[in-house]
């Protein structure tokens, strides 16, 4: 019987599917993240490894698993895996793209609305000091209709975000390595801008790009100086795209109006200085934390294990 190791608790749909296909399942069921040492101890006899974005699968892990045939990553990203070394050892790596698109976009819109209407700040005030009474200038925020949303990275998530933002009356611009064709831009109702132009004109900027050497610390001190003082940054992409020290400085000195972060430069750690600022919303990487998205991701990783076990080609191979 082939063995599968899960580095974290998965939705039950994946467990049931794997069991129905006569696979032996072992999993790390603690609430905290699995350590590198614990993972090393659990992989020597494993045929298939299902892992999460927070678990590093490096050369040492791969070398410790001589029977390993597949690393099925539970997430769209795969920066946590040494994909090149895995390929050199004949190990396939897969991910779970597309299925979290709607969930991430809904969260992004929620964060934009929460920033603009000061929802989190208002909730905190009600819990701490209460409501002094309605008055014309009390607790003013801003409407998002008519404002410009600049999207950095226009893949599946960025494109769907553009559709949702348009439905709310926002004007959408984007920056991406490759400009869309004119019909594609007209279909999505988006305007291409250079990176510099986008950061200078946008009222809200959403980071939806992958982490690459080119995007690492793309949002730096110099970038924040060029943004509108009334602009807000939303990062639901990858934490290291933002220089968090520079962002803290920009927020403290009101170079930009606010920020909403769902991903962090050194996850799961984050700089607690952000929590002291009223113009920041912090969420614990919940972009695809919906029942619908996580069940879809669970089905993909289970299906890929089963496909390879049956000597068929798994889906979404990235190496």
Q: Look-up: residue for tokens 């089905």?
A: 299
Catalytic residue among 118, 121, 244, 285: 285
Of 121, 238, 255, 265, the catalytic one is 238
Q: Which residue has the tokens 């950095």?
A: 152
CB 185 within 8 A of CB 191: yes
Half-sphere exposure of residue 30, counting CA atoms within 13 Å on the CB side?
A: 6
Provide the token pair at 81: 């895996």
Helix residue ranges per DSSP H, 80-181 = 83-88, 101-116, 119-128, 156-167
Q: Which residue has the tokens 């608790």?
A: 9
285 catalytic residue (yes or no): yes
Question: How long, in residues, is the chain?
Answer: 319
* Cα–Cα distance for residue pair 50/306, rounded to 1 Å: 12
DSSP code at position 230? T
Active site residue 238: yes
Annotated catalytic residues are 238, 267, 285
């Amino acid at each position: 019987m082939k063995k599968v190791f899960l580095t974290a608790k998965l939705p039950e749909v994946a467990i049931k599917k794997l069991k129905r296909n006569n696979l032996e399942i072992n999993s790390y069921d603690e609430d905290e993240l699995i350590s590198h040492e614990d993972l090393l101890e659990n992989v020597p006899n494993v045929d298939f490894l299902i892992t999460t974005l927070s678990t590093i699968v490096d050369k040492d892990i791969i070398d410790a698993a001589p029977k390993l045939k597949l690393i099925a990553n539970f997430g769209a990203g795969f920066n946590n895996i040494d994909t090149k070394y895995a390929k050199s050892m004949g190990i396939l790596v897969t991910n779970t793209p597309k299925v979290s698109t709607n969930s991430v976009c809904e969260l992004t819109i929620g964060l934009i609305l929460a920033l603009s209407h000061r929802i989190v700040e208002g909730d905190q005030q009600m819990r701490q000091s209460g409501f002094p009474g309605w008055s014309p200038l009390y607790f003013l925020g801003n409407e998002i209709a008519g404002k410009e949303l600049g999207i950095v990275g226009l893949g599946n998530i960025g494109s769907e975000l553009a559709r949702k933002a348009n439905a709310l009356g926002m004007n959408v611009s984007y920056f991406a390595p490759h400009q869309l064709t004119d019909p594609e831009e007209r279909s999505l109702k988006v305007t291409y801008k250079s990176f510099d132009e986008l950061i200078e004109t946008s009222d809200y900027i959403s980071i939806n790009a992958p982490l690459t050497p080119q995007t690492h610390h793309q949002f730096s001190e110099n970038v924040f100086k060029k943004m509108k003082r009334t602009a807000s940054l939303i990062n639901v992409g990858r934490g290291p795209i933002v220089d968090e020290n520079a962002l803290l400085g920009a927020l403290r000195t009101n170079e930009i109006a606010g920020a909403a972060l769902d991903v962090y430069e050194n996850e799961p750690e984050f700089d607690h200085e952000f929590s002291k600022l009223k113009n920041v919303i912090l969420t614990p990487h919940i972009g695809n934390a919906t029942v619908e998205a996580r069940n879809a991701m669970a089905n993909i990783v289970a299906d890929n294990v089963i496909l390879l076990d049956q000597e068929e080609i798994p889906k979404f191979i990235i190496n």
